[in-house]
Amino acid sequence: MIFGGVCPSVTSIIAESLEGWNLVQLSFAATTPVLADKKKYPNFFRTVPSDNAVNPAVVKFLNYYNWSRVGTLTQDVQRFSEVRNDLTNELEKADIQIADTESFSNDPCVNVKKLKDNDVRIIIGQFDENLASKVFCCAYNLNMFGSKYQWIIPGWYQGNWWEQANTTNCTTKKLLTAMEGYISVDFEPLSARQIKGISGRTPKEYEREYSRVLQQKGVEASKFHGFAYDGIWVIAKTLTRVMELLRVKQRQNPYHNFTVDDREVGKMVLDVMNETNFNGVTGQVMFRNGERMGTIKFNQFHEGQEVKVGEYNAIADVLDLINNSIRFQGVEPPKDRTFVRLQRRHINVPLYSILSTITILGMLMAGAFLFFNIKNRNHRLIKMSSPYMNNLIILGGMLSYASIFLFGLDGGFVSDKEFETLCTVRTWILIVGYTTAFGAMFAKTWRVHAIFKNVKMKKKIIKDQKLLIIVGGMLLIDLCILICWQIVDPLKRTVEEYSLEADPQGRDIAIRPFLEHCENTHMTIWLGIVYAYKGLLMLFGCFLAWETRNVSIPALNDSKYIGMAVYNVGIMCIIGAAVSFLTRDQPNVQFCIVALVIIFCSTITLCLVFVPKLITMRTNPDAATQNRRLKFTQNQKKEDSKTSTSVTSVNQANTSRLDGLQTDNHRLRMRITELDKELEEVTMQLQDTPEKTPYIKQNHYPDANNILSIRNFTDGKDGEKSILKNHLEQKPQAQWGSMDPSRINRGPLEDINSPEHIQRRLSLQLPILHHAYLPSIGGVDASCTSPNGSPGSSPRHRHMPPSYRVMVSGL
């Protein structure tokens, strides 16, 4: 046998050639992993563990602390590269992730920086002490030390290596700061178990004897002395065992005479070496494929010195850590990575509660308006303002209010699938509510516009049923858009993650906020379609409100308040949409803005529509349908300008008389309005009566004469003065002077229903009906009163008290 071999370059050459000589080599100091290749070095054994022997111990240590993600930093030398490659295989077997593998030759700072960028917390280093000082200097500069990091390096460095090998610009204090807490791994030179081995000595007794001899000879100690001592015992045991085997063979041979060649003896030595198993001063001596299954120790750097914290028994595959010996920089072992805790950015419960309370108050207010509208639906003021349309306005406001509750719910309250459903529901509710409220308002305004402004159009009855159809058409457009949206590109739950944030409680974790959104592939296109449609609807409402601004019947015309509502809603929606888009990563701010915009728009709209009616009902309910002030149309203003021009040409004496006549003219115009209502009432009753026998109460004659007189008075502005004079001077009988004398002596009923009277009445009624507003609330088409109608369509007059005021229930 050959005993020895320290330098890897020499030992490898010798070990490779031993097979041809049938010799076995035993080394006590060659730790290079290259010699572990049994195909190349089949006759090589060593009592010292290989450098690779620390890798199973390192894996066991990592598993003990549940570290499943590590990084390696290796010096570009074959010795360390071999260890790194073997460690990689061991880590893969243990299912431990290698986050990053870095190698360096001289300057490790770049590689250390990469480890930090890859969030490597557990770093396994393979480098000598000369470069170890550079590594820890870089770690100090990059702040890669302390409670968040754990360094694991070789443990065979010389004592106080950081002072002898410091070639960096870092001071010793900085190096010690960065080195504090590192774990070093190396084989155990002497066993810690005080058991007498094959030599009859315990490891402690052997160490004392060894130290005594060193002092006598004055030489330095070697860390391999225990392995050399056990190696001698291995050789002695092996040769003794081989000789015993040969003796046995000799005794078993019947001729007691046999020879063995070198090859056979060499094989016997190999077999006996593999069976070696005894306790030595370095622990249990045992080989596995020529490699020593020894004991690996773990040391930790504490306050300038290394302290043993545990050991690993390779034979039993057991890691034994000394209780409370390992001291980490933090309250707990470092994490193998930056643990990211997802944190939902949700809406604060107090904020949601406050806005929900305000929303409930708004819905109660809307309910109060609804109760008021239904209770007073037969009152003239409410009846003329279209109570059905008012109900739709309230319904739209309440739907808008209800959407606030849905906008405040997120994944913290509902599941992911329910959240997607919630996205669709709240969008539908808000869009339908908007269209219902403003569609009803604009439909009312359109009716006023159709009656009072479009004078060239043939007058028709515009009842609430037609307005409901208009609102239904708007809602149908909404439904078409929403259904196409839902089928083609439905809203889905998307999660937007933000950059990592430090834990506010100081824990070794990172917070990654995330926010849930309702989005789809073509979100911009669909929103553009909805905004365009709603914008056109709002512009149309503004146009109608502007066109009907001079209609002075408050019960019918809400153009002033609609204009105010559209202005406020438009401004708030533009501001709210812009701010909501800019604050999409701040759910509390976004929800607060959206909720306040909806609350403000719904509240201001409902108040502008119903509060004036409440005030009118309480202060002056009878003045609901009267003009608060006389407004003239553009043609009337032109006529007034002509009148004023003619007045200036009259002398001062006639000025007072003209003023009086104008006052009477105004008073009589108002009287015309009241009589128009009664006349329209009678006309409607005549149409609805199926009988053909006419009957008119005699006390209606004065009213008819009054109408004729007033119409004669108001037929023209240019001849106003002369006509009024003629009206005052002539007798009432003169107005009927053109009638057929044969009809004068007839009864009142026959005279008033004569063709001449009918034609006369129609010639006076049609101009009045043309400018009246009552067709909008249940009047009749002017063509229905034509005297050329069929006999079957002749109306019969009903008996009605003169003081009775009719409000047709068409509204």
Please check whether residues 401 and 507 belong to one and the same domain.
yes
**Does residue 765 belong to any structural domain of this protein?**
no
Contact, 103 vs 76, CB < 8 A? yes
Which contacts of 33-42 are long-range, i.e. CB under 8 A and separated by 24 or more positions? Answer: 33/79, 33/82, 33/83, 33/86, 34/8, 34/78, 34/82, 35/8, 35/11, 36/289, 36/290, 36/291, 38/289, 38/290, 40/16, 41/12, 41/15, 41/16, 41/290, 42/270, 42/290
Please check whether residues 23 and 146 belong to one and the same domain.
no
Distance CA(715)–CA(13), nearest Å, equals: 135
Please check whether residues 131 and 235 belong to one and the same domain.
no
What's the pLDDT score for residue 717? 40
Contact, 114 vs 85, CB < 8 A? no
Please check whether residues 20 and 132 belong to one and the same domain.
no
Partners of 511 in the beta sheet? 341, 501
Strands 305-313 and 295-302: antiparallel
Please check whether residues 387 and 351 belong to one and the same domain.
yes
Find, among 458, 652, 628, 639, the residue nearest to 553 by Cα: 628
For 709, the token pair is 């007189």
Show which of 590, 618, 646 is a domain's final residue. Answer: 618
Show which of 162, 187, 212 is a domain's final residue. Answer: 187
Contact, 547 vs 370, CB < 8 A? no
Distance CA(360)–CA(374), nearest Å, equals: 21
What order of strands is seen across the sheet that includes strand 2-3?
2-3, 25-27, 44-46
Find, among 536, 502, 498, the residue nearest to 516 by Cα: 498
What's the pLDDT score for residue 764? 54
Find, among 600, 585, 558, 563, the residue nearest to 497 by Cα: 585
Please check whether residues 60 and 42 belong to one and the same domain.
no
Contact, 182 vs 152, CB < 8 A? yes
Distance CA(7)–CA(4), nearest Å, equals: 10
Please check whether residues 544 and 409 belong to one and the same domain.
yes
What's the pLDDT score for residue 8? 85
**Does residue 521 belong to any structural domain of this protein?**
yes
pTM of the model: 0.57
- In CATH, what number is assigned to the domain containing residue 162? 3.40.50.2300
For 540-549, b where at least 16 C-beta lie within 10 A, e where not — what string? Answer: ebbebbebbe
Count of domains forming the chain: 3
**Does residue 692 belong to any structural domain of this protein?**
no
Distance CA(467)–CA(461), nearest Å, equals: 11
For 694, the token pair is 């006419």
Please check whether residues 57 and 157 belong to one and the same domain.
yes
**Does residue 206 belong to any structural domain of this protein?**
no
What's the pLDDT score for residue 90? 92
Show which of 273, 293, 313 is a domain's final residue. Answer: 293
Please give the residue range of the domain that contains residue 275. 2-48+224-293
Within its chain, how far is the Cα of 643 from the centroid? 69
What's the pLDDT score for residue 355? 92
Element (H, E) at 2: strand 2-3
Please check whether residues 559 and 411 belong to one and the same domain.
yes
Distance CA(559)–CA(551), nearest Å, equals: 9
What's the pLDDT score for residue 192? 84
**Does residue 655 belong to any structural domain of this protein?**
no
Please check whether residues 429 and 461 belong to one and the same domain.
yes
**Does residue 381 belong to any structural domain of this protein?**
yes
Please check whether residues 73 and 18 belong to one and the same domain.
no
Strands 69-75 and 122-126: parallel
Which residue in the block uniquely carries the two structure tokens 């005479």? 257
- In CATH, what number is assigned to the domain containing residue 579? 1.20.1070.10
Element (H, E) at 300: strand 295-302
In the chain (811 residues long), the average pLDDT of successive 10-residue segments reads: 88 90 91 88 92 92 93 91 92 93 91 92 91 92 91 88 77 90 92 87 92 89 91 94 88 72 88 91 89 90 89 90 85 86 84 92 92 84 79 90 87 80 88 86 77 56 78 89 88 84 77 84 86 83 74 58 74 78 82 89 87 80 46 42 39 60 79 78 66 41 43 41 40 40 42 57 53 43 39 40 39 32
Distance CA(474)–CA(488), nearest Å, equals: 21
Phi/psi class of residue 787: alpha, beta or left (left: φ > 0; alpha: ψ in -120 to 50)? Answer: alpha
Contact, 40 vs 285, CB < 8 A? no
Distance CA(689)–CA(683), nearest Å, equals: 10
Distance CA(435)–CA(235), nearest Å, equals: 100
**Does residue 723 belong to any structural domain of this protein?**
no
Please check whether residues 244 and 275 belong to one and the same domain.
yes
**Does residue 409 belong to any structural domain of this protein?**
yes
